[in-house]
C-alpha cells in the first residue's frame, strides 16, 4: 500500500532550450503519457487544471522510471521555478493539487531519444491532516516610541545609535538598535524623558458543492468524522434565507502571512491592488507560509466552481496584508502598520489570526484608530489553552473569538477568560495552504475568520451597519453553550449565521 510522505524534492533546473521546447497538452481522457524524449532528454506538457477539476482534486504521475517537475504558471516555467511538492509517495509517484488558475507545465526527464511511458491517474483526496498551531514570543532589538509632543530630536536617536522609521497616523516611531541589550538600555533612558508618552519593545507576533465541500463540517455538520449533527454555524439555512437578496461588495483585510491569489478558488476575490507586503516592503503580496491563504479561503473562496471549498461571504473582497514571515512570525510594528494600511484602503472588517503574550500599546492604538474609523477588528483568542485570552484579542474594540470542535465543545487549546466574545469552529477546518493543497488546520486562527466572514456578510446585506451594530447582532444571535448566558469559556456563544441574518432589518 502506498504511503504519503511530507517530502519536499529539490528543484530541477531548466536550460534555456527547455523553456522554449515544444509542449504537448496533457490528455484529458487517456491516462498514460507515451512518446520519445527530445534531444535534451525532456518531454514538456501543458496542464490546465480546469480540464480535470470536475473529476478530481489531484493528478498522480508514476515516476518510477522518470524525473518530473511541475511549474504552476508560465512565468514560473520561464524562470525555472518548480512547484515544491507537498505530497510525494514513497515510490516516487508525484501527486499534484489542481488548485491553480491558468496553465501549468509538467516536464519529464530521461535519456535523450528513448521512449517513455508514464501512467497518471485522477484522484479525489481528503484534505491533509491538521497542522500544529505554533509558537514562541520574544522581544526584538527595536523599540516603539510614542512622543507626547512631536518627535524627539534627531540627536537623541543618533546618540543612542538608533535608526528610525515612523508609523503615520499614530505619532509613533520605531527605533532599531544593533543588539537587544542596546535596545533595553535605550528603553530605560527614554522612559525617564518627559517628552515620551510610552516606549515598548517591538515584540514578535505569531500566527495564532465544491469538491471539498463535504469536509467543511463548520458550514454543515452532518456528523462526519464523529461530529455532532447540527454543531455548525448554520450556513445551509442562512443560504436559503439569503436567496434572492442583494449582497454588496465588502472589503475584508487579512493581516497575516499574505494570500496566494493565483489559486483558481480566489479568482476575482483578492484585491492585489490594495494589498501590501510589510515583510518585503513591496506592493505585490506572496504567502510562503500558507496561514493567510488558509484564513482567506474560510472567508471568501469562490463557491460552486468545482474547486476546493466554499467561502462564507460570496460578496467579500480580500485585502492581502502581509505582516508575518515564512515561519509565521512578525513584529508588533508591522502589525500596527498593517492595521493602518487596511483602514486606509477601505477595509470594513480586519481579521487578525495572530497572537502575542505581552501587551503592545502601539497595536492597541492602531485598533482604537480602527474603531474611530468605523472598522471592525476580529482577533483570535490564542492557542495556549490558557485562562486568559491573548493580545490583541484582549483589547477593547476587538471582537475576540475562541474555537469549538465538531461536537460544539470548546477546543482544549482555545484560550478563554474575561473578554472572550464568541466561539466558532476551529478544529480540523479545511482550507488552502502555501502550495495549493487543501489541509485541515486547527486553531483559533481558523475560528476568527468564520466570525470576520459572517460580520462582513451582514455588512454586505446591510451596508449601513456599523461595527458596533454588527457586533451586537453576532452576540445576540450566537448559540448559547456551556453555562447559561455569558461565560468565559464560550463568551456569548457559538457563531450562528442564520440567526444573525434573520435579525438584520
Strands (E) in 237-298, as ranges, are 250-256, 276-277
Terminal CA-CA length for the chain: 57
Q: Which residue has the cell 436567496?
A: 243
State which H helix or E strand residue 380 sits in: strand 376-380
Residue 420 CA to residue 402 CA, distance in Å, equals 7
CA distances 84 to 44, 57, 63, 107, Å, are 18, 17, 16, 14
Q: Which residue has the cell 441574518?
A: 501
* Integer Rg of the chain from CA: 24
Contact indicator for 137, 358 with CB cutoff of 8 Å: yes
By CB atoms closer than 10 A (0-12, 13-18, 19+), residue 483 is: exposed
Catalytic residue positions, numbered: 256, 291, 445
Contact indicator for 493, 478 with CB cutoff of 8 Å: yes
State which H helix or E strand residue 284 sits in: none
Question: How far is Cα of residue 274 from the mean position of the Cα atoms in its chain?
Answer: 17
Residue 205 CA to residue 382 CA, distance in Å, equals 12
By CB atoms closer than 10 A (0-12, 13-18, 19+), residue 267 is: middle
Residue 386 CA to residue 221 CA, distance in Å, equals 27
Contact indicator for 477, 500 with CB cutoff of 8 Å: yes
In the three-class reduction of DSSP (H, G, I as helix; E, B as strand; rest coil), residue 445 is classed as helix
Close Cβ partners of 153 (under 8 Å, ≥ 6 residues apart): none
Burial 105-142 (b: 16+ CB within 10 A, else e): bbbbbbeeeeebebebeebebebbebeebbbeeebbbb
Amino acid at each position: 500500500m502506498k504511503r504519503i510522505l511530507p517530502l519536499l524534492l529539490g528543484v530541477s533546473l531548466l536550460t534555456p532550450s527547455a523553456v522554449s521546447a515544444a509542449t504537448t497538452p496533457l490528455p484529458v481522457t487517456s491516462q498514460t503519457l507515451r512518446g520519445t524524449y527530445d534531444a535534451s532528454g525532456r518531454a514538456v506538457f501543458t496542464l490546465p487544471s480546469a480540464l480535470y477539476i470536475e473529476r478530481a482534486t489531484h493528478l498522480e504521475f508514476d515516476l518510477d522510471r522518470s524525473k518530473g517537475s511541475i511549474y504552476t504558471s508560465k512565468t514560473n516555467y520561464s524562470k525555472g521555478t518548480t512547484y515544491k511538492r507537498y505530497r510525494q509517495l514513497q515510490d516516487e509517484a508525484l501527486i499534484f493539487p489542481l488548485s491553480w488558475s491558468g496553465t501549468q507545465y509538467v516536464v519529464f526527464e530521461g535519456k535523450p531519444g528513448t521512449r517513455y511511458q508514464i501512467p497518471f491517474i485522477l484522484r479525489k483526496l481528503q484534505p491533509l491532516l491538521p497542522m500544529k498551531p505554533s509558537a514562541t514570543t520574544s522581544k526584538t532589538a527595536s523599540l516603539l516610541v510614542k512622543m507626547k509632543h512631536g518627535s524627539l530630536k534627531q540627536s537623541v536617536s543618533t546618540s543612542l545609535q538608533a535608526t528610525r522609521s515612523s508609523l503615520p497616523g499614530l505619532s509613533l516611531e520605531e527605533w532599531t538598535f544593533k543588539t537587544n541589550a542596546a535596545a533595553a538600555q535605550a528603553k530605560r533612558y527614554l522612559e525617564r524623558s518627559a517628552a515620551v508618552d510610552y516606549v515598548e519593545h517591538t515584540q514578535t507576533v505569531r500566527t495564532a458543492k465544491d469538491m471539498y465541500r463535504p469536509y467543511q463540517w463548520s458550514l454543515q455538520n452532518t456528523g462526519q468524522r464523529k461530529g455532532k449533527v447540527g454543531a455548525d454555524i448554520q450556513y445551509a439555512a442562512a443560504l436559503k434565507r439569503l436567496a434572492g437578496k442583494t449582497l454588496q461588495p465588502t472589503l475584508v483585510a487579512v493581516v497575516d502571512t499574505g494570500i496566494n491569489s493565483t489559486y483558481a478558488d480566489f479568482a476575482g476575490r483578492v484585491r492585489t491592488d490594495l494589498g501590501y507586503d510589510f515583510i518585503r516592503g513591496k506592493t505585490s503580496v506572496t504567502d510562503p507560509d500558507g496561514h493567510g491563504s488558509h484564513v482567506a479561503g474560510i472567508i471568501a473562496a469562490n463557491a460552486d466552481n468545482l474547486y476546493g471549498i466554499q467561502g462564507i461571504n460570496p460578496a467579500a473582497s480580500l485585502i492581502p496584508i502581509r505582516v508575518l514571515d515564512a515561519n509565521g512570525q512578525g513584529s508588533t510594528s508591522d502589525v500596527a502598520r498593517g492595521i493602518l494600511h487596511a483602514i486606509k484602503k477601505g477595509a470594513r472588517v480586519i481579521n487578525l489570526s495572530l497572537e502575542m503574550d505581552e501587551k503592545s500599546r502601539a497595536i492597541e492604538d492602531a485598533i482604537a484608530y480602527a474603531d474611530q474609523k468605523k472598522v471592525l477588528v476580529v482577533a483570535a483568542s490564542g492557542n495556549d489553552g490558557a485562562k486568559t485570552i491573548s493580545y490583541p484579542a484582549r483589547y477593547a474594540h476587538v471582537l475576540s473569538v475562541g474555537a469549538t470542535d465538531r461536537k460544539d465543545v470548546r477546543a482544549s487549546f482555545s484560550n478563554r477568560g474575561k473578554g472572550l466574545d464568541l466561539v466558532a469552529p476551529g478544529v480540523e477546518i479545511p482550507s488552502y495552504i502555501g502550495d495549493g493543497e487543501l489541509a485541515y488546520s486547527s486553531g483559533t486562527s481558523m475560528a476568527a475568520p468564520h466570525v470576520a466572514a459572517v460580520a462582513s456578510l451582514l455588512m454586505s446585506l446591510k451596508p449601513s451597519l456599523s461595527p458596533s451594530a454588527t457586533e451586537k447582532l453576532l452576540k445576540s444571535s450566537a448559540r448559547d453553550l456551556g453555562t447559561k448566558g455569558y461565560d468565559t469559556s464560550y463568551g456569548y456563544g457559538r457563531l450562528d449565521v442564520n440567526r444573525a441574518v434573520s435579525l438584520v432589518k
